[in-house]
Structures are given as C-alpha cells and as structure tokens.
Amino acid sequence: MPHASTQDSASPPPVIRLLGPCEVTGPLGTAGLVGTRQRVLVALLALDAGKALTQSRLIDTLWGDDPPRTAVRTLQSHIARVRQALDACGLPEILVTRGPGYALHLDRDHVDAHRFESLVREARADLPGQQWSAAAQRLDEALALWRGEALSGLGDDGWATAERERLHALRLAAAEDLWELRLRLGDHVSAVGELERLVAEHPVRERLIGLLMLGLYRSGRQADALGHYQRAAARLADELGLDPGEQLQELHRSMLRRDRSLDLPKPPSTAPAQLPAATGHFCGRDAELAGLRGWVPGASIAVVSGPAGVGKSALAVQWAHEARELFPDGQLFLDLLGHDPDAALTAAEALTHVLRGLGVPPDRVPAEPSEQSAQVRTLLQDRRVLLVLDNAGTADHVLPLVPATPGSALLVTSRQQLSALVVQHAVHAVELDVMDPAGARELLGRILGAARVDAEPEAATRLAELCGLLPLALRIAAAKLAARPRQRIDDLVAQLSGDDRLGVLSVAGDSHGIRGVLATAYQALSEPAARLFRLLGLHPGATFVPHLAAGVAGVSHGRVRRSIDELAAAHLITEIDSDRYRFHDLIRLYARERALADETPQARAEAADRLLDWYRAVSAATNTALSPTRTRIVPAIVHQPEALPFKAESAAAVGFLDRERGNLVPVVAHAVELGRFTVACELAYLLAGFFGRRGSGTDRIAICRLGVTAADRLGDAAYAGLMRSALGVALNAGRRYAEALDVLAEALPLAIAGGDRRDEGHVHNNMAIAHAGLRRFDEAAVAFGRALELHSRNDPAAVAVALNNVGYAEVQAGRSPVDRLSTALALAREVGNLPLEAAVQHGLGLACRNGGDHEAALRWLRDSVDTYRRIGDLREVPGGLADIGATLLVTGDHGGALAHFGEALELSRAHADRHVESVVLGQVGRTHLETGDLAAAREHLTAALDLRRRVPDPYEEAHLHRWLGVLAEQRDDAAAVAAHRDRAAELYAAANARAEAAALAR
C-alpha cells in the first residue's frame, strides 16, 4: 500500500504497470495520463519509487541535451497534470515534492517491474534448498506480470531503450530458470512447446537450445534433440563464426551415449519437518542443552524427565531445532499424551502416526502393531531421522519406536523415569529440575523486559521463589504481569502470598495452569500412591523419610516403599538424599489441596495424630539414647512406629535428627496450630538433649517459645514452668543472657509453687549462668549457692552441675577454683555423666591456666577435647581447641598455638558457630601481633571484628579493639590507638569488666 492515502482500507491498492504500456490504476480506476512526457515522468518516478528525483534529472530525461528555456515551468505543469490524474483515480498526495525534486510515495512492490524483480530473487533463493515447486510458482507469477514490451510507447531515446533492454534480459533469464525447473519437475512435454517458441525468438541463445534439447530427449524424441543441436551449430557458425559452447557440446555428447545423468532427477526430498515452534524466551538451561549436544552421536535414545511444568518439552524442542541438520531425512514429533491414561495414544496409534510421517500412505499401513514397528525399523534403515516423543507415559509407549540401527535418534520426554528403557537400551538420561534463581530472573527479564525486573529486584526474586522456580509457574506469572504493564511486581507477589497461590498461577483461556497440569499427574496414580500423596501434603516439614510416610499412612514399610517409588518415578516427589524426599513447593500445595478435598476430617485428624506420634517416638528415642536418666516427660504414644529410622544409640539418633532439623520447628508449630498443646510441650522437652549436643540456637529457642505458648494455652502451671526453664537454657546457649534472665524470672515462682526442689534448683542454676555470662559474678555466686543448696539434698548429678557452674563463673572472674571443680569431676564420674565430665575437665584446664600451671591446664583441656570426641559431642571441640591454643600462646609456643587455632577455626565453621569462629580469628590475630606479622594480625583481627558484629558479645569485642589498639600503636597511628582503646574501654564497661576498663583508662 502507499505510505500516504486517504482511501478506505478496503479499496484496491494502486498499481503502476511498466511491463507493457505505462498505466496507473487506483481505487477509482485508471489515471488519464495525456502524452508521452507524462507517461515518461510517471515511469521515471516509479522505477525509483520512494526516492526523490531532481528537476534537472527529470528535465534531462524528458528533453535530452536541448531542453526549452521554459523547461522548469513546463515540468511543473506536467507534474501538476499528473497529480490531477492521480487524484482522479483515487490516489491523492502520492506524488510529492521533496527538496529540489519529486517522488512517488508508495511501496516498490506496487510497481510491476519491481514486483517482477523481487519475485525472481525470491525464486532463486529457493533453489539451494531444492524448493523447486515453490520457485517455479514464483517465476510463473513474475512472468505473468508482463503484458508486452516493457515501457511500451515511451519512445526509443537512450533512457527508455537501456531500461527496456535490461528488463527484457531479466525476463528471458527468468523464463530460462522457469523452464529448467519445469524440466526438473518432470514437466518436459509441456515445456517443449514453449521452449520451441523461445528458441525461435532467440535462435543462438545456447541455454534455451540446451533446455529444448533436454525436453525433447526426455520426451523420447532423441533424434529431434540431436537435430536441433545440428541446426544451432550451423547457425552459430554462419552468423557468428562460433562453435557451440562446451556445455552445449557436452550435452550433445551425453545424448549420443544415452548418459543416465540426463534422466529425470529424483524429486526433491519431502523429509518430514514436524517439530513445533520453539518456546519463546527460552533460557536458563545451558547445562542441559550441553548434555544433549553431547548425546549425538552416542546412545540412540535420550530421555528428558522431570515434574510437570518444569520445561521438558521446551528443552526437547529447543535442542531438536538446533540439531535439525544432523537429521537431514526428517524430524518427527508426536505427543503421546501419556500424562492422561484415558487419552494416551495406543502403540498402534503412535506407530501409525510415525509411518504416515515417513510417507507411508494410509492404505499401506499394517494393521498389527508388531508389523507396524517392523515397518518403522525398515524405513529408518540407513536414514538419519529424529523422533521426538513428548509426554511418554510408560516405557511400553516408547519401545516399539526405538531405531534399530545407528543414524536415527529417539528423544523422549516424560514425567516418569522410564527405568524399563534402561534395561534394554543405552539411554542418555537428563533429569530436569526447577531453574536456578539466576535463570528464573533471566526468564522474567526476557518476558517482562530487563528494566521492569531491575526496577523491583527484591520483588522479582520473591516472585521467583513463590513460583518455586518452576518454569511454567514463572511464565504464567510473567504473562499476568505482561498483560498489565502498569501493575507492580510486588502486587502480584502479595497475591501469590495469599491462600490461593495455585489459583493465582492460572491465565484466563489457558487450561494449562499449574493446578490443571498437576491434576493430570495426580489422576494417573494408583490409589495407594494417591492416598500417600494426599497425606504427605499435610506434613508441615520440608522433607520426609519412608519411615515417616509409613507411620502417617498406617501401613508397613514395604507397602509404603512401593507408593514412594511410584511418586518418585512420576516426579511428584524428589529424592534429595539417600531415603529422604521432598515435594516441590507448588506440588506440596496441590497435595494439601487434594487432602482437604479428598480426605474426610476424621482421616486428616488421624494422619496428624500419626505424624505427631512418629515425631514423639523419634524424639523420645533420641532423648533416651543421649540421657537415659532424663525421664521427666515420657510420652504416651498411641501410634507406635513399626520401626525407628536409626539404631538405638546416641550417634545414630543425633545423626538422624541432624537431617530432620529443618522439620522440627514446623512440626512443633503444627502441633500448636492443631491444639495438641501437650504434644508440643513434650517435643520441646524431648528435643532439648539433641539441641544441647548439636547447638542450632535459633531453632532451639523457637521450639522452646512454642512450648511456652502451648503450656500457657494448656493452662498447666507445671508445664508452664518447665517450658520457661527450657527457654532460659536455650537463650543462655545462644548467649542471650538478658532475655534468659527475664524468662527464668517467670519460671522461678512457678517452680517454687510446684514444690519440686529440683526444678527450683535448675532455675537458680540457669539464672546463675546468665548472670555469669553478663559478668555479674556476685549475683551468679548467690544464684549458684542457692542451686547448690537445693540440689545437695537429693541429686548428686545436679550438685555436680552446680559445682561446675560455680567454678566456671569463678574462672571467668579470673580465679582458680581447682578444688571446687575437682569435687564436681568426682561427682560427674560417680554418676557416669560423660558430657558433664568433659565440661568439668575443660573448667579445670582454665582454672589451672589462671593459676599459672600451664602443663596441668593443657592436660585437662586435652582430656576434655578427647572426652567430647569420644561421646560424639563435636560442637564443643572447637572451643576446647581454641583454649589449648590460647594456653600455648601464653607459654610462647606460637607455632603450636596457630596449629590448634587452625583446627578450631575449621571445625567452628563446619558447625556454623560464629561466636567461636570470631574468638579464634581474634586469637590468631593476637598471635601474629606477638610474632610481628602486622599484616596478618590486621587481617585476622578485622575479620574477627566483622564477624563479631553479627554475633554481639561486648566482652569479646572489647578484646579485639584492645588488640587492634596495640596493632595501631606498632604502626604509629596515634588516632587509631585512641579510638580502639576508647571503644574497648566502653565495651568492657558495658560487659561489667570494670578491671579491664580501668586498666585501659590508665
């Protein structure tokens, strides 16, 4: 269409015809161009459509070397009349003034000469790909534009003659191309008549002569073909004094010997090309694509498996498009619909589709699947064909289509693992999981635009998390945002954070929302597997083991194993470690939906009871393995597990709960939510020994707070006191001493009211620990004394604990209570409490160091580390090693100190104990400071200080500033010396370390 027009869009497009008489046809008819010069003017402008021609060029073409004196005015007059003619035929404003010249403002394809040349170019572009029929059709269309002599009636001056000759030469070459294609396509009979006419017009045109000879030869008229050659040779000699060219001579010789190369060539390949379009904005799968690129050549089968919505089909199609050149004999694609057992293709249907794709007519397809499979193998013999089977349900879907010989390849996608394929064939397996965060962000950026994602980076990250990094969910979320370009990403994040995330992840008019896709996978499960899927959806934790699944479902371990294998094979659950599984976040939501919809309230309540009973049984067994005498709470478990998932000994129990750690807080919170308050309190009590052995202060504190909440709602004063006491212990372990004192102050009157002197003694003991942690040693001594008084009457183990804690507080105050700690050690050994024995040994080492007996100090500290290692309490080992290193540092053994600090640093990092890590880094810095390595000292002290700001401890931070002040002094940095000393003094004062603060003030 012209670039500017006032005509209705339904009007016929304007056409300027130059391949014959010059004509202009508009929506209202043919333009009335009067005289040769008006037609020449239109022809000149049309041949350069869209470009401006200057007045001087137009004048030179219209009048040659002798223009009239009024040429410019006359040209303008012609222009005006042409405009009137164009207006009259419905083309106003198409002839425009542009600078010092004029132009026709229209697309070049609306000029028949340009359209002709464009079609010829397109036809020739089809030839390398052997698209002969398409090329011939374009050439037919191009030649049909001609209506006679080009530029007819425009005179014979130099411009018209040169352009006319150029166009006629193009026309003749296009005709030769067309009839060569007709001969290739087997249309030699009809070609002969037209070629005879063309040869008559161009009797010495050798290419036309050769084409006519070939047409005659293929029509069975060899003699006529040879006769044409003889006449052409004679004419060339008579008229031009030339022999025929080498190409024409070789054609003549080939006809004389009836060369097979002259026979009709085979038709161009009709190789199937059934691949669907590649998924838009494909990204984030570089590693998986690289794996597939390395597959061919190799195993003839590749299987891409993964959960619904993870992008299996997108990956397969993306790679298949990349690899098309490896399979020149075709690419077949078939959706087996295996995710829906009712709609899945049968073997016969799949084989029929493949045979039809390979060119077998419907009436030649065998009826029996075995015969169809054999025919497929026959057709693939010695060919390079790619078969892409999407959504395979079982290995039986795939086996009949496996190529029998190298060359062809089979790429399968499935939600199942298709393990049976591996039994019979070499399979390249690609397990597809969700995207990584970077890939998810890239996908959002490609769909929404990088600017929109970069404008809300935190919201984009949270959006990806709420989509579970699942490609389908990410695309749905991005599609919703793309449809509303003004909506903030954060607004959609808020919607997804609500109660119906699966509902939000759907698009109107699209049946492939997350819920619909997961439904197809769920409906394909056996009933036992579907029930287990539902019940596990009620589990509040992130992972589960088969023992838990058996307990929740109330079936044997053997039976539940079969259902777990089915769920894993369908990629509805994922094995993340040996015998430990997890749901994808969105799949877990769907499983919970199905449980709420398909299970009765009674069944759901029983499943919850079974789950909580299983965790109580596991926690009770761990408590017994760690502390056999700790029996204050013994749960009454209704649904006892068939078997525990670990051996009944401490190392195995602790190791199992290490792997369960991420589930513990959610399970206790779940008990509170369900109103199982007694269960929540029991779990908080039973897990205390595990957390005491392993640390994880944040989880321990969270569980104890839940225990306090449960006890308060239960209205049981004994539990309320016990849970507050447990929370105080947890806060002390987390070095949150002020908070611990507040909670223990609430626990103390409850313990006194309960009348249990042991409880009261434990509260006083823990309050003393908190006071000591805050360096309030006088208050600590009073509280320890009260605890000792209460325990001395009935509990030797508690007496030993109290003596140890009193001694440790004295050690912290700089004293050397060796006698008190020796008494505690004897009592710990008497009651057989190895963890307490190790703690007392550690205290004795520090007491001896305070007293100047470094040899004894090292002996006790090493004994403590050995004991901790022997009982498997490895979390206490880094602190012991650090104190050995500090003692060696006092003796001047810098090498030995650094060796122990290095081991302590490695272990503290392994246990994520940031407090000990910071202490050790500071000691390493102090050691380098003493040896004069100021650069290393600065590096370690600065690292320790950075870490200490994340785990506040004023006393330890003060040490670091004091040492940094010494470092600054050695560097002659007076300002830094003052700043660090002032800060150290301030921190010592805040930590109640008055002596240290006073020393710095002097």
* Per-residue pLDDT tens digits for 185-207: 777 777 888 888 888 888 888 89
Report whether 112 contacts 15 (CB < 8 A): yes
Question: pLDDT confidence of 912, banded at 50, 70, 90?
Answer: confident
Q: Are residues 851 and 968 in the same domain?
A: yes
Side-chain half-sphere exposure of 355, counting CA atoms within 13 A:
26
* Per-residue pLDDT tens digits for 134-177: 888 899 999 999 999 988 888 777 788 888 899 999 999 999 99
| Per-residue pLDDT at 530 exceeds 90 | yes
Report whether 779 contacts 771 (CB < 8 A): yes
Closest CA to 504 of 536, 468, 538: 468
Considering the domain boundaries, does residue 416 fall inside one?
yes
Confidence at residue 938, expressed as pLDDT on a 0 to 100 scale:
95
Residue 982 CB contacts under 8 Å (≥ 6 apart), including other chains = none
- Mean pLDDT value across the chain: 88
Closest CA to 660 of 626, 691, 625: 691
Considering the domain boundaries, does residue 735 fall inside one?
no
| Per-residue pLDDT at 510 exceeds 80 | no
Confidence at residue 742, expressed as pLDDT on a 0 to 100 scale:
96
Considering the domain boundaries, does residue 575 fall inside one?
yes
CA distance 499 to 496: 8
| Per-residue pLDDT at 361 exceeds 80 | no
Q: Are residues 306 and 422 in the same domain?
A: yes
Quote the Cα angle for 449-455-461, to 5°: 85
pLDDT winner (highest mean) among 60-74, 517-531, 985-999:
517-531
Say which DSSP state 236 is in: I
- Distances in Å between the alpha carbon of 965 and those of 197, 473, 931? 107, 56, 16
CA distance 519 to 537: 14
Phi first, then psi: give them for residue 641, nearest 5 degrees: -65, 150
- Distances in Å between the alpha carbon of 473 and those of 221, 231, 326, 470, 569? 69, 76, 33, 5, 22
Domain that holds residue 576: 525-599
CA distance 583 to 563: 15
Q: Where a domain ends, among 556, 584, 599? A: 599
CA distance 437 to 461: 8
Quote the Cα angle for 334-269-313, to 5°: 20
Closest CA to 388 of 523, 292, 490: 292
Question: pLDDT confidence of 7, banded at 50, 70, 90?
Answer: very low
Considering the domain boundaries, does residue 780 fall inside one?
no
| Per-residue pLDDT at 761 exceeds 90 | no
Q: Are residues 365 and 291 in the same domain?
A: yes
Tokens describing residue 547: 């023992």
Confidence at residue 563, expressed as pLDDT on a 0 to 100 scale:
95
Q: Are residues 421 and 444 in the same domain?
A: no
* Per-residue pLDDT tens digits for 849-907: 999 999 999 999 999 999 999 988 888 899 999 999 999 999 999 999 999 999 999 99
* Per-residue pLDDT tens digits for 810-831: 888 888 999 989 998 998 898 8
Confidence at residue 543, expressed as pLDDT on a 0 to 100 scale:
92
Considering the domain boundaries, does residue 472 fall inside one?
yes
Q: Are residues 593 and 454 in the same domain?
A: no
Considering the domain boundaries, does residue 137 fall inside one?
no
Phi first, then psi: give them for residue 824, nearest 5 degrees: -65, -40
Query: Long-range contacts of range 165-172, CB-CB < 8 Å, 24 or more positions apart?
Result: 167/18, 167/19, 167/113, 167/116, 170/116, 170/117, 170/120, 171/116, 171/143, 171/146, 172/198, 172/202, 172/205
Confidence at residue 696, expressed as pLDDT on a 0 to 100 scale:
64
* Per-residue pLDDT tens digits for 575-586: 888 899 999 888
Q: Where a domain ends, among 599, 629, 648? A: 599
Closest CA to 345 of 371, 353, 275, 411: 353
Q: Are residues 450 and 593 in the same domain?
A: no
CA distance 594 to 521: 12
The mean pLDDT of 7-18, rounded to a whole number, is 54
Closest CA to 74 of 87, 59, 60, 64: 59
| Per-residue pLDDT at 445 exceeds 60 | yes
CA distance 419 to 222: 64
Residue 427 CB contacts under 8 Å (≥ 6 apart), including other chains = 299, 301, 302, 303, 418, 421
Question: pLDDT confidence of 11, banded at 50, 70, 90?
Answer: very low
Q: Are residues 539 and 423 in the same domain?
A: no
CA distance 731 to 751: 18
| Per-residue pLDDT at 4 exceeds 50 | no
The mean pLDDT of 597-616, rounded to a whole number, is 96
Q: What is the CATH number of the domain that holds 366?
A: 3.40.50.300
Confidence at residue 499, expressed as pLDDT on a 0 to 100 scale:
87
Q: What is the CATH number of the domain that holds 537?
A: 1.10.10.10
CA distance 884 to 848: 12
Q: What is the CATH number of the domain that holds 953?
A: 1.25.40.10
Q: Are residues 510 and 530 in the same domain?
A: no
| Per-residue pLDDT at 3 exceeds 80 | no
Q: Are residues 988 and 895 in the same domain?
A: yes
Give me the helix-helix angle, 132-143 and 112-126, nearest 10°.
170
What is the sign of the dihedral through the CA atoms of 608, 610, 615 and 619?
A: positive
* Per-residue pLDDT tens digits for 199-229: 888 888 889 888 989 888 888 888 888 888 8
Confidence at residue 517, expressed as pLDDT on a 0 to 100 scale:
85
Q: Are residues 442 and 420 in the same domain?
A: no
CA distance 11 to 586: 55
Q: Are residues 358 and 422 in the same domain?
A: yes
Considering the domain boundaries, does residue 455 fall inside one?
yes
Closest CA to 662 of 539, 796, 490, 488: 539
Q: Where a domain ends, among 411, 431, 451? A: 431
In this structure, the dihedral spanned by the alpha carbons of residues 892, 895, 900 and 902, taken in order and rounded to 10 degrees, is: 130
* Per-residue pLDDT tens digits for 939-984: 999 999 999 988 888 989 989 999 999 999 999 999 998 999 999 8
Q: Are residues 531 and 569 in the same domain?
A: yes
* Per-residue pLDDT tens digits for 697-740: 789 999 999 999 999 999 999 999 999 999 999 999 888 999 99
Considering the domain boundaries, does residue 249 fall inside one?
no
DSSP SS3 for 257: coil
In this structure, the dihedral spanned by the alpha carbons of residues 622, 626, 629 and 632, taken in order and rounded to 10 degrees, is: -50
Stronger pLDDT, 53 or 855, i.e. the higher one: 855
- Distances in Å between the alpha carbon of 251 and those of 247, 513, 966? 6, 65, 101
Give me the helix-helix angle, 650-673 and 697-714, nearest 10°.
50
- Distances in Å between the alpha carbon of 677 and those of 704, 715, 720, 950? 13, 10, 11, 34
Q: Is the pTM of this model over 0.95?
A: no
Stronger pLDDT, 745 or 650, i.e. the higher one: 745
Q: How many domains does the chain have?
A: 4
Confidence at residue 679, expressed as pLDDT on a 0 to 100 scale:
97
CA distance 481 to 494: 13
The mean pLDDT of 742-749, rounded to a whole number, is 95
Phi-psi region of 571 (alpha: psi -120 to 50; beta: other; left: phi over 0): left
Please confirm whether the linkage preceding 297 is cis (ω < 30° from 0).
yes
| Per-residue pLDDT at 666 exceeds 80 | yes
Confidence at residue 516, expressed as pLDDT on a 0 to 100 scale:
84
Over its C-alpha atoms, the chain yields an Rg (Å, rounded) of 45
Residue 561 CB contacts under 8 Å (≥ 6 apart), including other chains = 546
In one-letter notation, the amino acid at residue 563 is: S
* Per-residue pLDDT tens digits for 87-129: 988 888 888 988 888 988 888 889 999 999 999 999 898 887 7
**In terms of residues, how long is the chain?**
1002
The mean pLDDT of 767-776, rounded to a whole number, is 90
